[in-house]
Structure 1
C-alpha cells in the first residue's frame, strides 16, 4: 500500500512549473527588448528563476513517486532533462547570446512534460 497520486493530481504541478518558466522567459525577453526596465527590482527575475527551479523539482519529485507505468512518472521523466539547462543558466552570462539560448533549451521539455501530464495513463 504505497503512496500514490491519482493521474489528475500532478497536472497542476506541471502547469505551475511551465507557468513559472513561461513567466521567467517573458520577463527576460521583455528586459532584453527594453520593453521593461527592471533596474529597480532586478531580484524579480531571480525570484522567478528560483520559483521555476522549485516547481520543476517538485513536479519531477511527485511524478517520480507515482507508479512506474503511470502517466505521471512518464511526464516526470520527460521533464527531467529540463534540469540541465536550468542548472547551467547561472553560468551562461547575462549579456551574451548564450543566456537566452540555454534558457530556451528547456522549453521542449516543459511542453512535453505538460502534454504527458495531461494524457491518460491507460492506453492500449
Structure 2
C-alpha cells in the first residue's frame, strides 16, 4: 500500500502575490494567507511559505519533496505549461530522472529559487 500524495515543506517567499501567481499555474490555490504566512494547496498537496523579502534566489538552499502516485501525469501537466526559466536563468527542468533505482523523480525550481523534487510514491 502506498502513502497518499503529500508535501511537508516550509519555503521562503519574497512576495506572496508572485508566489500565489506562480503556483496557481501549477494548480495550487490559497487556503490561508496573512502578512507573514501563506498556505497553498493542490488537492492533498500543501505548501507553506514564510515571508522572506530579503532572500536572494541565487543563494536559496530551500527544497521540498512532492510525492505523488501519478508522477508521469503530474510531469505531463506541468511540462505542458511551458514555464519560464527561473530567476537565475536556469531552465525549469521537468526531465524525468530514472536511474533504475526505486525512486523516479523530476525537479522544478520556483521563482524564489526553491527546488521541488517531484517523486513517485512507489518505493517509499
TM-score scaled by length of structure 2: 0.29
Which structure ranks higher in relative contact order (CA pairs < 8 Å, sequence separation ≥ 6)? 1
**Structure with greater Cα Rg:** 1
Q: Structure 1 or 2: larger helix share?
A: 1
Which structure has greater strand proportion?
A: 2
What TM-score comes out, normalization by structure 1 length? Answer: 0.29
